[in-house]
Amino acid sequence: MTGRVTTEEARALWLEAPDDELRRLAQAARARFHEPDHATYMVMRIVNYTNVCVAQCDYCAFYVLPNQDGGYVLSQRDVFAKIDELLEIGGDLVAFNGGFNPRLPLDFYCDLFAAVRQRYGDRVEFYALTVAEFVFLADRAKLSHAEAAARLRDAGVHWVTGGGSEILTEDFRKRHAKFKYTVREYLEAQRAIVESGMRTTATMVIGFDETLDERLEHLQRTRDFQDGCLRDGYDGLFSFLCWTYKPYGTAFGGREIAPQEYWRHIALSRIFLDNVRHVRTSVLTQNEDAFRALEYGADDFDLPIEDEVTQKAGATIDLDLEGLLAVPRRLGYTVSYRRAERPAALTA
């Protein structure tokens, strides 16, 4: 196969290519950016600062509505304690992720992020929000995406990641998360984040009821978005991370997909997303099976120590980090720690 893979070619690969062939093509695509036998990782913690949410996605087991019991908002002291624990075990990346809590205005977030930056400086990097949360907050504050991005950047934020995208088709949004955002809003917001100088990433979640066409549309939108960024002189997407839906305790229910389907999808993503440098595999949802994805084109992974959102839906977290790192080593990879980069446009 030469040149850029079309959607039709990707469909044929998915339907017809045996595992060996997909793996070989993905490894060739990976080798354009990375040493074949080397992978990088980070130790991180997802801090779920509030579980109150009005979006009501039917695949979510985490949220409570504003008038229900069990809602919480973490104080800055709670957040600092979680970050201190992360530092103690050698991690340095925090990803803030929470519900669409209508009682928390944009100022709440700017104050929190400024306090984290002031207390930890560059000892800790943090993914401040997902694009999905960003869309909600900008809307509530009646600010344009550019204005909201500038507020966050000025509060010390470097990264707003592409979380909350799941499957980026309008039909999927209507079926499962009609109050969350439209695909157009999501991509416009992400572009504003890029233009503000902050960095972002792409994500995808598979294993709901999405069709092959929907998976391919998601990949096409991601590649198009990155083409646009690169064409206009921006670095755009740092990475693409895919994880799998956990159905336990959700309204939608369903079953988990098999690891092999996940590996094949990682391979297809690596082959198709020829303009994204890092393809990341999800230890959070695949545990030790995640490392086989390194053979299918992934080059990077997180070792998370907490994420209430996926844990509530059935994810399990292994805190034996050395034991986990032994798995890719047994597969023949050297692994090295990767620190989150401060975006070039925000260099102090």
Between 60 and 148, whose beta carbon lies closer to ligand SF4? 60
73: left (phi over 0), alpha (psi -120 to 50) or beta: beta
Least distance from C-beta 56 to ligand SF4, angstroms?
A: 6
Helix (H, G, I), strand (E, B) or coil at 57: coil
Q: Cα 145 from chain centroid?
A: 20
Least distance from C-beta 60 to ligand SF4, angstroms?
A: 3
Between 100 and 208, whose beta carbon lies closer to ligand SF4? 100
Q: Return all residues near 304 (Cβ < 8 A) that are at least 6 apart.
A: 44, 45, 46, 283, 284, 317
Between 64 and 146, whose beta carbon lies closer to ligand SF4? 64
What is the H or E stretch that residue 288 is in? none
Least distance from C-beta 182 to ligand SF4, angstroms?
A: 14
How far is residue 181's CA from residue 107's CA, in Å, rounded to a whole number?
21
Least distance from C-beta 249 to ligand SF4, angstroms?
A: 12
Between 100 and 113, whose beta carbon lies closer to ligand SF4? 100
Least distance from C-beta 45 to ligand SF4, angstroms?
A: 17
- Residue 68 φ then ψ, to 5°: -95, 160
Between 165 and 200, whose beta carbon lies closer to ligand SF4? 165
Joined tokens for residue 154: 């000025």
Binding site for ligand SF4 (CB under 6 A): 53, 55-57, 60, 62-63, 99-100, 177, 180
How far is residue 316's CA from residue 308's CA, in Å, rounded to a whole number?
10
Q: Cα 236 from chain centroid?
A: 14
**Closest C-alpha among 248, 262, 231 to residue 310:** 248
Least distance from C-beta 243 to ligand SF4, angstroms?
A: 13
Joined tokens for residue 166: 């799941």
Between 53 and 298, whose beta carbon lies closer to ligand SF4? 53
How far is residue 319's CA from residue 3's CA, in Å, rounded to a whole number?
42
